Chain A
Amino acid sequence: MTALLPARLRPSSSPRRAPRRRRRGVPVAERIALVVVVLIIVIAIIGPWIAPYDPYRVDLAQALQPPSAAHWFGTDVNGRDVLSRVLVGAQVTLSATGIVLLITLVIGVIVGTVAALGGRVVDEVLMRITDIGLALPSIILALGFAVALGPGLQSAVVAIAATWWPGYARLVRSIVRETRHAEFVESAVALGVSRWRLVTKHILPNSLDPMYVQVTLDVAAVMLVISGLSFVGVGAQVPSAEWGAMIASAADNVLNGWWALVFPGLAIAITAIAFNLSGDWLRVRQDPTLRDGGAR
């Protein structure tokens, strides 16, 4: 990630380089991924309204029905409609993921920026704390957190956020340290801007691009951890339609009810791939130095 930086901070094009044109538009795979991401987000928002059945209504008479016209994704061991649960689960899973990443980003940016700009002692202290965070395997730590806070989706969110931010702090620190030495930052100092404005207007806007990419890429990772924690029983609890929890409860009947496991699994896989592919496209789009022409 940091390897991207020098190129980004260097002059976008040498004044005497031969003209080069970059093709506009989005490559096909990324285009599909973007559509899928938008679709998933829309589903996460309107899922509860478009679900054909009540995702929580137990009907043992309908248990473990294979996919059919009435139940496209079949029903689970408690007779609940899998399609409805996947649709509603999008909201549960993605909002939990989003909250984790938001907390992570805020803490990471604050800690990373303060460490990068705050002088040697501050940097040293913050980075040692970060090192400790990085040294602990996040899933295990999250597991411990979740157990201490009591099982539930909220504790899973807090637990993952608490273990996820050190990586962001590291990244932000290294980027900000580099941006700080960019000539336009020196130019702002020479102009006489305040420290606050220097950070918020000059340094951070030119440091956060790699963060957006990281966030997009981390959607998949965080989602997998949330689902993983739910799967092992410390995250979302029965009867929640969280995708990981769904897989967990379907695992016992995988031989006579594979659909209850495969569809939420597919939902996780598709979401993860779509967000990952979108990440790279976002990087190109967000970086004005990679785009053509001016604002006209």
Chain B
Amino acid sequence: MTALLEISGLRVSYPGVDEPVEVVHGVDLVVPQGRKVALVGESGSGKSVTARSVLQLDPDATIAGSIRLGGQELVGAAPKIVRGIRGSGAGLVFQDPLTSLNPVMRIGWQIMQPLVIRGVSKKEARERGIALLDRLGVVNAAARFDDYPHQFSGGMRQRVVIAIAIIAEPALLIADEPTTALDVQVQAQVLELLHEVADERGMGVLLITHDLAIVAGFADDVVVMRHGEVVESAPVDELFAAPKHPYTRGLLGAIPRLDSDPSVRLTSVADYVDTFETVDDEPAAPAAENGAAR
């Protein structure tokens, strides 16, 4: 299996008050061709920054290390190359479908853009856009193609965002908390849809999330991040069966499950590692011995 995305020694920093603040400290990550990798962590763990640095969307960020997409080195690459990668090399699904769509443009126009700017004719782009929306489960896609975002519900909007991300057939899809803003039921539908479409097209997926529960049914591999570093990285079955790092155990124990005794307290990361207001400390020993709540 060849690596589609290979990140190594990634460091990302932002301008600070006096000196740059580094938020990602040397992350290694591989997304093999056609596999789904989940990048998991809490807010501030640097997971989003890591994923977004692939597309270099944030002009404030200073990126060091290596990011190779399909063999092409992106760190330090010419802006033209990076622009070419966006859309056709790697598509991005944002967290909030409400703000990631342009409210004054018809959704069809927005879906067609990635094709149109690559020289595909309007007619063909429209046909492909409608076909894709239809595939993504938007009922009556042809008629709704000329609607505005506000005429869509949250789940439907997120399908539009997915359509924009994958219409140019990228080899890699980066989904940054794609279901956080959605209801549980819609979340299940959107995840299922992403899973299917990725399989159909042989796309590699990098899913960013804070919720290990949705990872179980989605990902092949899991990478857990904390404080800008990878703390654990394993195939999904292995990680859920035998989480090695106490932080991972904390994340697992925090999930409210339908199949556990509700009178048993949820654990939290704080039960396993010292979290409060500390940033650069080494993970402490677990406070509770027997792993995740079950």
Contacts and interface: CB of A to CB of B under 8 A. Distances in A.
A21 B20 CA distance: 9
Interface stretch (B41-49, B102-110, B156-164, B241-249): B41-49
Interface string A17-38: 1111101100000000000000
Contacts of A14: 95-96
A16 B17 contact: no
A294 interface: no
Contact of B14 (A17, A20, A292): A20
Interface of A: 14-21, 23-24, 292
User: How would you classify the secondary structure of chain B's contact residues: helix, strand, loop or mixed?
Assistant: loop
A28 to B, nearest CB: 18
A16 B58 contact: no
Interface residues on B, range: 10 to 19
Interface string B193-237: 000000000000000001000000000000000000000000000
B95 A21 contact: no
A3 to B, nearest CB: 14
Given A16-B95, A16-B177, A21 B49 contact: no
Contacts of B14: 19-21
A23 B15 contact: yes
Interface of B: 14-17, 21, 23, 43-44, 48-49, 52, 58, 60, 95-96, 177, 180, 210
Nearest to B210: A16
6 contacts: A16-B210, A17-B48, A18-B49, A19-B14, A21-B15, A21-B16
A19 B60 contact: no
User: How would you classify the secondary structure of chain A's contact residues: helix, strand, loop or mixed?
Assistant: loop
B58 A18 contact: yes
A284 to B, nearest CB: 16
Nearest to B20: A21
A176 to B, nearest CB: 25
A19 B17 contact: no
* Interface-centre pick from A15, A19, A24, A292 (highest chain B CB count, 10 A): A19
Nearest to A293: B17
* Interface-centre pick from A18, A20, A24 (highest chain B CB count, 10 A): A18
Contacts of B21: 19, 21
A18 B43 CA distance: 8
B23 A24 contact: no
A293 to B, nearest CB: 9
A24 B16 CA distance: 9
A16 B23 contact: no
A23 B210 contact: no
A18 B52 contact: yes
A27 to B, nearest CB: 15
A17 B48 CA distance: 8
